[in-house]
Structure 1
Amino acid sequence: MFSGMLFIFSPLVIGYLFSIENKLLLERLNKTTSWLILVILSLMGLSLAALDNFGSNLQTILTMTVTFFIVIGLCNLAFLPLIDRVMPLETESRHSKLPISSMALESLKLILVVGAGLFAGLMLPIGLSWVETASEWILILLLFFIGIQLRNSGLTLKQIIVNKQGIMIASVIVSSSLLGGALSAIFLGLPIFQGLAMASGFGWYSLAGILMGDAFGPVFGGASFMIELLRELVALVFIPLFIRSRPCTAIGYAGATAMDFTLPVIQSTGGVRCVPVAIVSGFILSILVPVLMLFFVSLAG
């Protein structure tokens, strides 16, 4: 299992070695990555359709999703407010409205992609033996592109080290999420390392679901995808409500999405002072998702 995880992790490392100056090329790469995510999520739906006893497996997915989501979320919210007390972050008084509903729809459409794959697998007379192999090869290509994106995100090591609040938020999210993952595993009767792997998504729903599905099968992949997608949807509502009184807590709950998807909400409701903190914390968490997840997967195997 460990050698298999290294084989999957290596494209991410190789991709990170590429520094690209051409903005047009980076834009095309970002679009290609988005399309690959949609393709592999549809394959996730097909793999769910190939499961025996689909009804009981669906119940298992929902049980795992609810348990991990609630326990990890409570652990995050128990420790994140400490950062607001020890290292308070000033926000701006202005308030801007964003089409949060349309942003939520962007997340919900991914559920429709998985659902479309599931429907096609259940209703169409097609063989599904090829799905697992196709998913693995697309995952390798996807990780390569993600490595390039992380390298060319614009953050230098100095910018990360200087921003102590961003580092502290990421550290608290990692430690509290892993605590929640371990507790969830105990509640569900799962191996601890499986629970720790499931807790290492930090809001990156597409990659988390793909990696968990490749490692432990479509049930874990589907649950991981739903856990992190729920986190993002709740963050879209949570951030505007609490960023004035608990800015570090609001930024931290957004997880890895603080550097991209939820960043406009953070900026518009908390002001520009929140932006560097959000980008640094989100970047660190994004880097750690594949690292920690593949590490715990290798231990679980």
Structure 2
Amino acid sequence: MYAGLLLVLLPLALGYCVPCRSQSILKLLNVVVARMIYLILFLMGISLAFVDNLVSHLTTIFTVSLVFLVCIAIANLAGLWLIDIRRGRLNPHPGAQAISKWALLLDSVWLCLVILAGVALGHLLDPEWFDVDALSEWALMLLLLLIGIQLRNSGMGLRQILLNPWGLIIALVVLVSSWVGGVAGALILNMPLSQGLALSSGYGWYSLSGILISDQLGPVLGSAAFINDLARELVAIILIPTLMRRHPSCAVGYGAATAMDFTLPVLQRSGGVAIVPVAIVSGFVLSLAAPIFMLFFLSLG
């Protein structure tokens, strides 16, 4: 029952054990990880094409993703708002500047186009000889190995994490409130609670949630998980500049796992250098938690 959990956590743990001091190698690693994400999403698109009567499932995909997006957003922002009541506003800083969101949104559009390209190719392939599930699993394990190396060499040690209580509290609130939203979404859609909890444990890590959910629950729910987490990232990009001054915890926390990578530039430009350690700690903790809790809840089904 826990074989899937082991297959995901083992490469992540092995990668975390690999120290790397070469900046050139780390830069190359970042490029490879970015390309691997496109490969995994492309394979997910092929897997989706192999679903019988795909068009009839599109309503299910978008309904599930929309319900979970709304439920999780409400739960997250409500919990994070309580943190901001205690902490108050973020002081304005001279370095704050507007950031164009169009380039970041365009990156997300490319991700969707990659999946559509996979769907188009999948219609030309024979599922009997093209084992997309096996390829996806190997690609995911390689990606997690590389991400483990990235996390180990991100400059965030255990001492730094434990000494940043704000980031840890944000991560904990996002963790628990996401499950509340997942349970609400499962009840609305009449789904098993374990599936709702698994879908809510991606924390914006769309490439991971999409492929893990696809592997365990099928490409229809896997696509819904991908759209849910990708949409979360898009909404975060839009909300961060608006929320940062009065509700900094909401700005950092809603980005979830992406706060340490994709949405970090938006957070830094909106909140200044002081917000960066908070965002990295929060994103780091949620990145480690995502595969553990997703596979744990999937194993309960």
Deviations for 1:67-122, whole angstroms, at most 9, x for unmatched residues? 10001111111111111112336332443122211011111110000011112223
Paired with 2:112 and 2:134, the residues of 1 have a C-alpha distance of: 22
More divergent stretch after superposition (42-51 vs 131-140) = 131-140
Deviations for 1:211-233, whole angstroms, at most 9, x for unmatched residues? 11122111121111100110111
In the alignment, what sits opposite 1:14? 14
Task: Judge conservation of contact 1:91–1:274 (CA < 8 Å) in 2.
Answer: no
Paired with 2:143 and 2:260, the residues of 1 have a C-alpha distance of: 19
Q: Structure 1 89/164 Cα, relative in aligned 2: closer, same or farther at 3 Å? A: farther
Paired with 2:88 and 2:291, the residues of 1 have a C-alpha distance of: 30
2:22 maps to a residue whose letter is: N
Deviations for 1:164-192, whole angstroms, at most 9, x for unmatched residues? 11011111100100011111111111111
In the alignment, what sits opposite 1:225? 226
Within a 5 Å distance, the mapping from 1:219-258 to structure 2 comes to: 219-258=220-259
In the alignment, what sits opposite 2:24? 24
2:232 maps to a residue whose letter is: R
Paired with 2:226 and 2:98, the residues of 1 have a C-alpha distance of: 28
Q: How many residues align?
A: 298
In the alignment, what sits opposite 1:68? 68
In the alignment, what sits opposite 2:166? 165
Paired with 2:169 and 2:89, the residues of 1 have a C-alpha distance of: 12
TM-score (normalised: structure 1): 0.95
What is the deviation of 1:16? 1.1
* Identical counterparts, % of pairs: 48
Task: Judge conservation of contact 1:91–1:247 (CA < 8 Å) in 2.
Answer: no
1:166 maps to a residue whose letter is: G
More divergent stretch after superposition (79-88 vs 226-235) = 79-88
Paired with 1:4 and 1:37, the residues of 2 have a C-alpha distance of: 20
Unaligned runs of 5+ in 2: none
Paired with 1:179 and 1:197, the residues of 2 have a C-alpha distance of: 12
1:231 maps to a residue whose letter is: R
Aligned with 2:300: secondary structure?
Answer: helix
More divergent stretch after superposition (81-90 vs 257-266) = 81-90
Paired with 1:292 and 1:176, the residues of 2 have a C-alpha distance of: 14
Instruction: Report whether the alignment pairs 1:4 with 2:4.
Output: yes
Task: Judge conservation of contact 1:90–1:273 (CA < 8 Å) in 2.
Answer: no
2:59 maps to a residue whose letter is: Q
Paired with 1:12 and 1:214, the residues of 2 have a C-alpha distance of: 18
Within a 5 Å distance, the mapping from 1:25-64 to structure 2 comes to: 25-64=25-64
Task: Judge conservation of contact 2:259–2:280 (CA < 8 Å) in 1.
Answer: yes
Q: Structure 1 231/4 Cα, relative in aligned 2: closer, same or farther at 3 Å? A: closer
Q: Structure 1 89/289 Cα, relative in aligned 2: closer, same or farther at 3 Å? A: farther
Within a 5 Å distance, the mapping from 1:1-301 to structure 2 comes to: 1-88=1-88, 90-94=90-94, 95-122=96-123, 124=124, 126-129=125-128, 130-300=131-301
Paired with 1:211 and 1:259, the residues of 2 have a C-alpha distance of: 21
Aligned with 1:71: secondary structure?
Answer: helix
What is the deviation of 1:243? 0.5
Unaligned runs of 5+ in 1: none
Paired with 1:222 and 1:174, the residues of 2 have a C-alpha distance of: 22
Paired with 1:9 and 1:157, the residues of 2 have a C-alpha distance of: 19
Paired with 2:176 and 2:224, the residues of 1 have a C-alpha distance of: 21
Task: Judge conservation of contact 2:90–2:247 (CA < 8 Å) in 1.
Answer: no
2:40 maps to a residue whose letter is: I
What is the deviation of 1:5? 2.6
1:145 maps to a residue whose letter is: L
Task: Judge conservation of contact 1:89–1:248 (CA < 8 Å) in 2.
Answer: no
- Root-mean-square deviation (CA, aligned residues, Å) is 1.3
Task: Judge conservation of contact 2:75–2:178 (CA < 8 Å) in 1.
Answer: yes
Aligned with 1:273: secondary structure?
Answer: helix
Task: Judge conservation of contact 1:91–1:271 (CA < 8 Å) in 2.
Answer: no
Paired with 1:146 and 1:8, the residues of 2 have a C-alpha distance of: 12
TM-score (normalised: structure 2): 0.95
2:66 maps to a residue whose letter is: V
Aligned with 2:273: secondary structure?
Answer: coil
What is the deviation of 1:144? 1.1
